[in-house]
Amino acid sequence: MNRRNFIKMMAATGMATTLPLSIQQANAAGVTDKFLVVVNMGGGWDPTCLCDPKGYKTDNSGNMVEGVYINKSETNMGNINRIQIDSNKRFGNIQWSGIPETADGNAATRTLIEAQYDDFFNTYGDRLITVNGINTQTNSHSIGNRHTWSGKKDPGFPGIAALHAAAAAPEMPMSFITNGGYDYTAGLVAKSRANDVDYITQELSNANHYNNSSNADRGIYFKDDNGMANEYGDIQAAISRRQARQQGSIQNSGFRDQLGQLFSVQGNDENLKTFGANLDAINSDSFDGEWNPGRNSGLKNQAKIAAAAFASGVAASANISMGGYDTHSNHDQSHYRKMGDALEAVHYLNQALAFYGIADRTVVIVASDFGRTPWFNSRSGKDHWSMTSNLIITPEGHQTGGKVFGETDDLFKAKKVNVNTGRADENGVEITPAHINKALRKYLGIEDYAVAGGFEIAAEDINLFG
C-alpha cells in the first residue's frame, strides 16, 4: 500500500486524529445500547408538502384560487399548496400530503412519487413520531442547521450524532460517520468520512494485504496470501508490547483507561474486516431493500454504509445528507420528487438495519434547516420560513400508533402545545429544536454526559417518546 493510500485510509477511519481525553467517557464497554442516524435534508424542506399538509383556497365553485402573497403583509391572499388534504392518507394521527399535478407533467412519475409517500407512512406509521410546529427561530441556513441538530442557535454545541458517538462509544474506530450536514464535534470525537463502498470493501477492510509480488511499491506493512510473509503482524505485536509497557507505567487509572481506548481505536483491524464483509453481504442478491432501484442511490449508499458500520462494531452514529430543498423557484417540480426519493432512501436504511438485525436498536431522525413559506412567490417558488417539522422513526418494537406531537394553524404558524400531550394549549410551550434535542438526548441515555461536558440545553421537558 503506497503512502497516499495509507494517508487516505487513516483519514477515512478517523485514525488520523487522536481520541479526546478531556472528558470522562460515559461508556467504555465498546458496545452501545442504541444507534443513531441523522438524515439531513439540506436547504429547508417544506413540511406542508409532506407531514403537515394544508391544501388550497377555493372560490364559490370549489375551484382553486390562484394568487400570490401580497407585499409580505400578514394576510396570505394565495395558496399554501396546490392539492387538497386527502383524509385517506392517514395513519393514526399522522396525515400526509397527496401529489399535485404541478409536481410533474408525467402521470406515471406522479404515481411513483405518491406510492413512495403512501408506502413510507403505511410501512413506518406505527413506529413514527411526526413533530409539527417546530420554530427554528431563524431563516438562516447555517443557524437553522446548527439549531436543528444541536439544540442551540449559537456556535459551540456538538451535533446530536457527534454527541451520541462520544458518549456511547468513543473507542470505536469510526464512532461518528458523517456525510455532511451539521457535524461539529466540539472536539469530543473524531469525524469519519465514509461514502465509498468499493474503497471500504477492497482497501479499508484489509488495508495491509499485499497481493502482487511484482509490484515494488508494496508499502511499509504487508502480508501475503500464503502466510509466508507477515511483516504487518510482526510490527503489530511489537506495538502491542510497547503500548502495554506505556499503560503499565501510568499511575492514574482514569488516564490509563482512556489511553487504552485510544490504542484500541488505532489498532482495531478485525472490526474493519467485518465492516467490509458486511458491505459485501448487503451488496449481494440476497438483500432487496428498494422500492424503485436506482432512485436516490447516493443517499441509499450512505445509508448502507452507516448500517454496515453499526453492525460491524465500528460506529455508533451517522449523519447522512442530501440537498436541493432550497426551492425559491419551481417549488412543486423539485420538492415532491426529492421528498419521495428521500422517503425511499430512509426505507432503504431501515431495511438495511433489519438485514443486519439492529433495527430494534436504531433511532432515525429526518429534519431540515427550517421550513418554507405558506405561499408561492412570483416564480412559483417558496422562500424561507422558520416553522418546520421532524420525522422520528423509533426502534423496531417501539409502537407509536402514528403519533403527532405539535401543531400549526391554517397559515403554518406554530401553536403553543401541552408538554405532555403535544396538543394545542394556550398555556403550553412553543416547540423549538432545543426541546427536540433534549428529548432525544434523554431517550438515547446521553443527557448526563452532555450536561457534564458543559452542553446543557435550557428547555422544558416534552413527552416526545412516551
pLDDT at 277: 87
Top-confidence range, 218-222, 247-251, 285-289, 343-347: 343-347
290 by Cβ neighbours in 10 Å (0-12 / 13-18 / 19+) ranks as middle
- How many angstroms separate the CA atoms of 365 and 354, rounded? 17
pLDDT at 271: 75
> Angle of helix 160-168 relative to helix 141-150, nearest 10 degrees?
30
Tens digits of per-residue pLDDT, 431-447? 999 999 999 999 999 99
| AA letter at 347 | H
pLDDT at 30: 34
pLDDT at 377: 84
pLDDT at 348: 97
> Angle of helix 297-311 relative to helix 331-355, nearest 10 degrees?
20
Q: What is the mean pLDDT of residues 282-310?
A: 91
pLDDT at 25: 30
Residue 127 has pLDDT above 50, yes or no: yes
Contact (CB, 8 A) for 53 and 97: yes
Q: Which residue has the cell 426519493?
A: 341
Name residue 192's beta-bridge partners: 177
- How many angstroms separate the CA atoms of 184 and 208, rounded? 31
Pairing of strands 362-368, 35-41: parallel
Distances (CA, A) of 431 to 134, 161, 266, 314: 5, 21, 42, 35
The pTM assigned to this predicted structure is 0.82
362 by Cβ neighbours in 10 Å (0-12 / 13-18 / 19+) ranks as buried
249 versus 156: the higher-pLDDT residue is 156
Contact (CB, 8 A) for 121 and 400: no
Residue 219 has pLDDT above 50, yes or no: no
What's the CA dihedral at 375, 379, 384, 387 to 10 degrees? 20
Residue 184 has pLDDT above 70, yes or no: yes
User: Confidence band (pLDDT; 50, 70, 90) for 31?
Assistant: very low
Domain 25-208+269-452 fold is: Alkaline Phosphatase, subunit A (3.40.720)
Interior angle at CA 90, CA 84 and CA 95, nearest 5: 60
pLDDT at 288: 86
Top-confidence range, 32-36, 200-204, 235-239: 32-36
- How many angstroms separate the CA atoms of 320 and 311, rounded? 17
Nearest Cα neighbor of 175 from 312, 35, 317 is 317
- How many angstroms separate the CA atoms of 390 and 368, rounded? 8
Question: Poorest-confidence range of 200-209, 234-243, 370-379?
Answer: 200-209
Contact (CB, 8 A) for 38 and 160: yes
415 by Cβ neighbours in 10 Å (0-12 / 13-18 / 19+) ranks as middle
Q: Rounded to 5 degrees, what are φ and ψ at 259?
A: -65, -35
Pairing of strands 35-41, 94-95: unpaired
Distances (CA, A) of 377 to 17, 171, 243, 327, 329: 47, 50, 64, 11, 8
Q: What is the mean pLDDT of residues 359-382?
A: 93
User: Confidence band (pLDDT; 50, 70, 90) for 200?
Assistant: low
- How many angstroms separate the CA atoms of 446 and 163, rounded? 8
In the numeric block, which cell numbers belong to residue 129?
A: 413520531
38 versus 280: the higher-pLDDT residue is 38
| Gyration radius (Cα) of the chain, Å | 24
pLDDT above 70 covers a percentage of the chain that reads 77
Q: What's the mean per-residue pLDDT of the chain?
A: 84
